[in-house]
Chain A
Amino acid sequence: MVVETTVFNSGGRVIAAASPEEGFKVMKGMGKYASLFVTVLALVGLMFLTVPRAVAQQDGSPIGGDADDTFNPPPCDYNDQFYGDNGIDVTQLVGRFGDNNGTTRLTGPPARGNQKNYVADSTCNVKDPNRRNFRILATTGGNSDDNNSPFTCASGNGGPNCANQSFFEPETFEFISILAFVNSQNAFSNSYLRNVGFINGGLQGVQQNPGEDISIGQASLGESPAQTLRGFAMQDIVSNFEAYAALKQTTPQGFASNPCSLAMIKQLQNPNATSVPMPCFPVNDTVVNGQTVSDVATPNLRQDWRFATNRNAMDGSDNNDPVGAITGNVINAPFGYFCDDLLGMWIITYFWVTAPPNDPHCGPIYQSIGAKNGFNTDGTPIVLTAFELNTELEAQGCGAEAKEDLAGNDGGAVWLICPGIPDPRAGGISTDAFLDQVRNSNGIPQNLFLTANFLSLQIFGKFPNELTSKQQSQVRAAATSAATAAN
């Protein structure tokens, strides 16, 4: 596999944790900010202002044709070679953006209406040779529950950008590009070999260079199947990065308290189960208008994604100690997101509530969490943190989680190829990108803070707390406009 180094360093944060995920840092709920934000939106609702979108771009003069063209480019799909170099068989990918001559998932979820999920962009491969020329517009937002992001401010002792933290950005957001889905283990290559740098330069053989091999599972090189010489299998790397998906639990038959998969039910909800209670919510892909729609496509979600990144801070900002010596209460995790998981893959952990919203035992727990975070359309609470899921829900028997069958028998996504945007500022989110987020039944984004955060980055290339008061007003107005337009 190709090795790259981490680009960002948040300045050295120490994460203390009692368990791999939970940590001491539990994100503050947005509840205390919510009413204020709504009030602000109401006040500025009619104050939509024209916003200069070009300011986010950081390509200095001349525009194009010089070295700074590659500065923080917006995301594009990886090319086949890069997938292969990182242990993925592209023929096994499901719903890969750009496949079939640029028609696969061009429209449809996560895009709405005629919105396109990606565009052909001949500069992708120029700015990054590991990319192919499809630039991703669908920018999926989610909550990072670890506060490890260098841009995190929710804990009050966050990264370097939090000095002026305000109500405007109370949560920790990450933005990802869901390039493709992986529905079975067969997508991980057992064997791969590519020579890089071979030169037959002539000059009587003086400039001969055999190059270097990028290899996986080459017995002749002493590699185990599916592993690199570093001893890593991509599957093992990815196992350290869990993305949490919450599928809608309302069905035509009523509220479903479990998935339509006995194997998933048995993982935590009820190991003794022998059949699938009905109604159940589906966990398999579907085909709509000839296009495969993933089970985790946004319309199927009841809340935005949640990323468990505090076992491995995406940027290494948790002071991960590879030696494992005592350096305070540091979680020593083996892999860094941006330096080992080069495709930005995640293993999906599905989570759900195990009782209807009005359940006598679980209902009050749901109400308590919902009072902080808000509610999904189906009346279940929005879950933002590991503590809420693990301790408040699952430990009480009011929530459960599972992963899909590794051989693909559940029919849905097991893994995601959805790289996080390393730095969403300064052009990392392009002016034509759109935010893929869960919406309420009336079309209004469920999480307006996420909307505002995205717009702040898209319009000004900055986080909200970096904006001037005038810019903040403009973002509020744009967010209000987005909410209004949804109606």
Chain B
Amino acid sequence: MPRSKTQRITRRNFLKLTAGAAAVGPFFVLTPNAFASGKTLNVAKWAHFLPEFDDWFINVVAAEWGKRNDTKVTVDVIPVEEIRERAFAEVTAGKGHDVFVFPWPPAEFHQHVIDHTGIYQTVAAKYGAIQQLAHRSTFSLSNKKYFAFADFWTPSPLHFYQDYWAQIGMPLGPVHFGGLLSGGTRLRDKLGIPCGLAFCPTLEGNVTLHSILYAHRALIFDSGGNLVFNKDVFAARAISLIHALCRESGTSEQLTWPSGGSVSAMLARKTSSTTNAISLLRAAEKQDPKVAGKMWIQPPLIGTSGMGVTALPHVTNCSVVWNFAQNEDGARQFIGDLIDTSRTGYEKSLGVNFPIYPKTVPDIIVRLSKDPQANPPSKYTALKDALHWTPNLGVPGYATPAYMEIFNTSVVPKMVARVAKGESAEDAAAAGAAEMQRIVDKWKQAG
């Protein structure tokens, strides 16, 4: 059976590309051994923020699955910022891995994947119905098929240093974006410590900015899938607010941080707050427990215009089987079987990976309330209702190809950057809307 010719990356490059707290696991390929069937399964996955998870995924999940199924499994770990480019390379070539795992809904690739409905159906028999978050992240409205299979997601709570915020009379931290701006301004004026939300063209930057847009009713698409960005004042107002957050309470570095930059700044206590996956707090616990003790997490900030408490998922782990996969049957089985490992995966990710199927970790609430590493042990219980404040990318509709291209090409961070360079928020929003329209038109033509 022909092997894929995807480019393998070196550990050095890998670490370089994923610098910061979003550390990565070792690049690893299972060494060939005797598989009587001669079957192979090639998997590509994004580099998890916690390298321990990828170590386990490669050395245990993939390895044991291979033994059970008489299949040689290879796993390529790819930096988050390279995932999309690598996936496009494979679909362009019409060959590559059998399974490709994305940290966000890969709707852009829906024409190059199999229908994953059967996998969901198989899993449903064992673990129940799919969550709305997963459904709207992996279902194609255009062809009524599932273009991916989601097995876990990561919430994006607010992280803040309680000792900093207490000094400006807000010991419980900000609750709404207005409080973040006004309190953050006072905090920076008093302590010289800026707020540290990521506004840069990275995964965390896009998640943060799209969350702020949504929290301020600056919708990109409506629930019917129509492009509505900048059709009212909300878009420009939200962009202005983001700019104000950066200018008055933040730092210009927010706009240019590389992947993991906001995490590094928080770990160094150079910023007072950010939103991120709890891999940030986990990194703090590992690096300096005293610092971790001062870092609190809480649900996201309240938006305006009736949008309530909301934040998009930092990660929506979505696996696809390419329609050119050499081992489609094996790939189908592999990603369906991943659900059986969700419980251990939750543990190996130190609680970062929230299961799509709640039955796989039925005691998650207990685990959150008695975390052995947290100080205090109940610190992570703030996440117990995370599913309630976490809509899917693409909300209030689905994760469509156009939405995901807008997300992945950093249209929103680019708008924010334009304002930082002196352009008005209205002009930046108009330019962003034009770019979004171009993307929408392109996908309409693609069908």
Give me the interface of A with B, judged by CB distance under 8 Å.
18-22, 184-186, 188, 190, 219, 222-227, 229-233, 235-236, 239-240, 242, 263-264, 266-268, 270-272, 308, 311, 322-326, 332-335, 347, 386, 389-390, 394-397, 401-403, 405-409
Contact = CB atoms under 8 A, between A and B. Distances in A.
A268 B129 contact: no
Given A222-B376, A227-B381, A231-B368, A272 B182 contact: no
Interface string B197-232: 000000000000000000011010011000000001
A84 B402 CA distance: 51
B67 interface: no
Interface in B131-188: 131-133, 135, 162, 168-172, 174-179, 181-183, 186
A323 B358 contact: yes
Pick the most buried of A325, A335, A403: most chain B CB atoms within 10 A of its CB. Answer: A325
Give 7 closest A-B pairs by Cβ, nearest first.
A231-B381, A21-B306, A407-B169, A395-B232, A334-B385, A20-B308, A271-B240
Contacts of B171: 185-186, 190, 225-226
Given A231-B382, A267-B177, A402 B304 contact: yes
Nearest to A398: B233
B388 A334 contact: yes
A167 to B, nearest CB: 28
Contacts of A408: 169
B377 interface: yes
A290 to B, nearest CB: 27
Nearest to B162: A225
Contacts of B170: 185, 406-407
A385 to B, nearest CB: 10
A264 B176 CA distance: 11
A222 B378 contact: yes
A319 B348 CA distance: 34
Contacts of B289: none
B244 interface: yes
B309 interface: yes
Given A225-B296, A240-B308, 8 more contacts: A20-B308, A190-B172, A227-B378, A266-B178, A266-B182, A325-B130, A334-B389, A389-B306
A157 to B, nearest CB: 20
A387 to B, nearest CB: 9
Interface string B40-63: 000000000000000000000000
A263 B183 CA distance: 10
Nearest to A332: B388
A233 B298 contact: yes
Interface string B285-298: 00000000000101
Contacts of A401: 304-305
B128 interface: yes
A406 B237 CA distance: 22
A332 B244 contact: no
Contact of B233 (A229, A322, A325, A394): A394
A223 B234 CA distance: 39
B243 interface: yes
B305 A18 contact: no
A185 B241 CA distance: 23
A267 B241 contact: yes
Contact of A394 (B174, B244, B298, B305): B305
B135 A184 contact: no
A293 B378 CA distance: 40
A233 B172 contact: yes
A332 B391 CA distance: 10
